[in-house]
Amino acid sequence: MKTAESAFEQDRKRGFTRRKAIVSLVVLLVLGGGGWYYWQSTRTVEAQDQPLIATVEVGDIENTITAAGSLQPFEFVDVGAQVSGQLQKLHVEVGDIVEEGQLLAEIDARVQEARVEASRASIEALEAQIEARRASLELARSNAARQERLMAADATSQLEYDNAITNLASAQSSLIQLEKQIQQSRASLESDETQLEFSRIYAPSAGTVVSIEMNEGRTLNATQQAPTILRIADLNTMTVETEISEADIGSIKKGMQVYFTTLGGGSRRWYSQLRQILPTPVIENNVVLYTGLFDVDNADASLLSDMTAQVYFITSAARNVITVPLGALTFKDQAPGQPAPGTMAARPPNGGGFAGGGQGGGFPEGMSQEQRDRIRQRMASGQGFGGGQGSFNNGGSAGRQPGAGAAQTRRLATVRVVKGEGVYEEREVMVGVTSRIAAEVVSGLEAGEQVVAGIIQANANGANRQQTNRQPGIRVMGGFR
């Protein structure tokens, strides 16, 4: 009995010791993990900020003013009715393409037909009377001649002679009056026939039926004004009516380049030039809006009436030029009362270089001799700096937009060029057209070179790091952000 109790007591002690060891091990693991986490969270890791490297590329730069607009046909005509009556038949539907002179609609013409028949009958009656009037005229002329012979022979009285002359004049007047009545009746017949023709409506011009205002069976009242039946428009050319805000109207001029997109057109752009700015504004909710008009070819019929257009007026642009992020540039300070460094002053007679540079002076330090000679040649020929004047829509030929990035907008700036791992070169460049994110480099850089466009903060979290990368142009010691 004692032996069994002793064995049970030993087993119980061994189980307690095993559980105690497991609990101790768990406590040690928890304490060790907490200590390691605390050590990791409190230790200082020394890391350095990394430069944000960007590659110099060839691309396009443009600055635009946006506005909303709508599409309308360049030419359209409202076809109406000139006679009253019931619209009996429509021969076209919306979307039909019609030719000039094609029958469009018919109006009940029974009233007009009756008037034409009445006018014709009246003319026939008058024409039947004219033969009797002519016979009466011949009789009066014969009596007058006979009385004149008798009067010469003193064989008749003065009264008989005077009556014969009077009857002759009356017969002549009666014939003339009847002839004028016939002319009047014929004019009335032409009017009635014209009214009868108006009951059949023909297309005044070729185009597309864009709307139908009246349906068959409706009574038209054309007494005071012509009711519109349908509209025919020429959709080969469309006009964009855009609303320009009062704040932007000063920057928009007639003839400037413009393009627009539509909601259903995807990324397609339609290009044109501003044709007109209407002088009278439209005021909506105390907002002053001016209407700008420009036309665009629609040979493929992809544009329809009343489409919504997002319009972009190009204030400055450069196509197929060397570009860098704006954050990679630091512009030279401008002295008070002096032109901005790098801008062009009046060209000297000897074809001198940049403003203040004299013959060959004022060029950026990183510019090759070949580039300097090419710039001098262009200045001597009056071409300025930026390549040839390329076509607005060429999309690939080298050159500058006509009128975009004019010489007076050029400025000198500095940029850090990556020469190797951790090796940078401070270089001066000539900058042309700039936008909010990029700038055109006229000289000083070549495509494919790498520049420092900012810094990536080592201790910033993911969100702040992204914001740092997206905020160019912030100057830091030894570099740029």
Judge whether 458 and 48 are in contact, CB under 8 Å. Answer: yes
Phi and psi at residue 137, to the nearest 5° = -65, -40
Nearest to 129 by CA among 168, 166, 174: 174
Q: How many angstroms separate the CA atoms of 311 and 292, rounded? A: 10
pLDDT band for position 273 (50/70/90)? very high
Which band of pLDDT confidence, cut at 50, 70 and 90, is reported for residue 274?
very high
Query: pLDDT digit string (tens) for 381-406?
Result: 444 443 333 333 333 333 444 334 34
Residue 291 vs residue 454, higher pLDDT: 291
Q: Which three-class secondary structure string do you get for the chain?
A: CHHHHHHHHHHHHHHHHHHHHHHHHHHHHHHHHHHHHHHHHHCCCCCCCEEEEEECEEEEEEEEEEEEEEEEEEEEEEEECCCCEEEEEECCCCCCEECCCCEEEEECCHHHHHHHHHHHHHHHHHHHHHHHHHHHHHHHHHHHHHHHHHHHCCCCCHHHHHHHHHHHHHHHHHHHHHHHHHHHHHHHHHHHHHHHHHCEEECCCCEEEEEECCCCCCEECCCCCCCEEEEEEEEEEEEEEEEEECCCHHHCCCCCEEEEEECCCCCCCEEEECCEECCCCEEECCEEEEEEEEEEECCCCCCCCCCEEEEEEEEEEEEEEEEEEHHHCEECCCCCCCCCCCCCCCCCCCCCCCCCCCCCCCCCCCCCHHHHHHHHHHHHCCCCCCCCECCCCCCCCCEECCCCCCHHHCEEEEEEEEEECCEEEEEEEEEEEECCCEEEEEECCCCCCEEEEEEECCCCCHHHHHHHHCCCCCEECCEEC
- Which pair of tokens denotes residue 191? 């009017």
State what percent of residues in the chain have pLDDT above 70.
Answer: 73
**What pLDDT is attached to residue 312?**
94
**CA angle, 78 then 293 then 60, to 5°:** 140
Render 68-106 in DSSP notation, one character per residue.
Answer: EEEEEEEEEEEEE-SS-EEEEEE---TT-EE-TT-EEEE
pLDDT at 193 over 50: yes
DSSP codes, 271-284: EEE--EE-SS-EEE
Comparing CA positions, the residue from 252, 257, 255, 271 lying closest to residue 309 is 271
pTM confidence score: 0.57
Q: Which of 327, 355, 98, 60 is nearest to 212 (CA)?
A: 98
The answer, yes or no, to whether residue 40 has pLDDT greater than 70, is no
| Arithmetic mean of pLDDT over the chain | 76
Confidence label for 13 from pLDDT (cuts 50, 70 and 90): low
* Amino acid 124: pLDDT: 85
Q: Which two tokens stand for residue 300?
A: 């493929």
CB neighbour list of residue 139: distance below 8 Å, 6 or more residues apart: 171
Asked whether residue 226 carries a pLDDT value surpassing 50, the answer given is: yes
pLDDT 10s digits, 75-121: 888 898 888 888 888 999 888 889 999 999 998 888 888 888 888 88
- Encoded tokens for 481: 């952000």
- Taking a C-beta distance cutoff of 8 angstroms, is the pair 126, 182 a contact? yes
For the chain, which residues make up each domain, given as ranges?
A: 109-198, 320-480
The model's pLDDT over 351-376, given as tens digits with 9 standing for 90+, comes to 333 333 333 344 555 555 555 555 55
Closest of 75, 20, 80, 77 to residue 232, by C-alpha: 77
Q: What is the pLDDT of residue 355?
A: 35
Q: From CA 317, how far away is CA 446, in angstroms rounded?
A: 20
pLDDT at residue 233 greater than cutoff 70 = yes
Query: Which among 282, 245, 307 is positioned nearest to 70, based on CA atoms?
Result: 307
**Do residues 235 and 206 touch, judged by C-beta distance below 8 A?**
no
